[in-house]
Structure 1
Amino acid sequence: MNVFIARDDGKTPHSLLVLPFGPMAAIPKHLTELDWEHFVITRTDDKLLGASSSEIEAEIASNGYALVNPTG
């Protein structure tokens, strides 16, 4: 999975955008107003993503992406 992090704008907490790995993955248009930076390539079971693997995979299957809050 490709993981992007939204840069801190001082108004909203950090969010992670999880996209499938591959050339067809793209940031959804409704999320392009945020300043995303590529963070890491990892697996959906990475505990630092802040959501379970099944939750992330279900969101990706449904929406093409998952938006999660990282654990601290």
Structure 2
Amino acid sequence: MASPENILLHLPQEEEQQVREIFAKLEERGFPTQHQTPHITITFSPAMANDVVERAAELLPPVIPASFR
């Protein structure tokens, strides 16, 4: 199975560290280790057409403070 395509919001470094600290506390309590970089998933799709990505780049920045890469 191919990796899905998605649009993710990555957190600023300070907020990412806060989430990692929460992950560590959960792991201490027996939850599985989290290996992913903390993020917020906006979309999740087996394949995403270029026009969808372009439209998201137009619509999302005014309502979500983010940079698109």
**Shared fold (TM-score greater than 0.5)?**
no
Task: Report 1 or 2 for greater relative contact order, CA contacts < 8 Å, sequence distance ≥ 6.
Answer: 2
TM-score normalised by length of structure 2: 0.31
Greater percentage in strand: 1
Name which one, 1 or 2, has greater alpha-carbon Rg.
2
TM-score normalised by length of structure 1: 0.30
Greater percentage in helix: 2
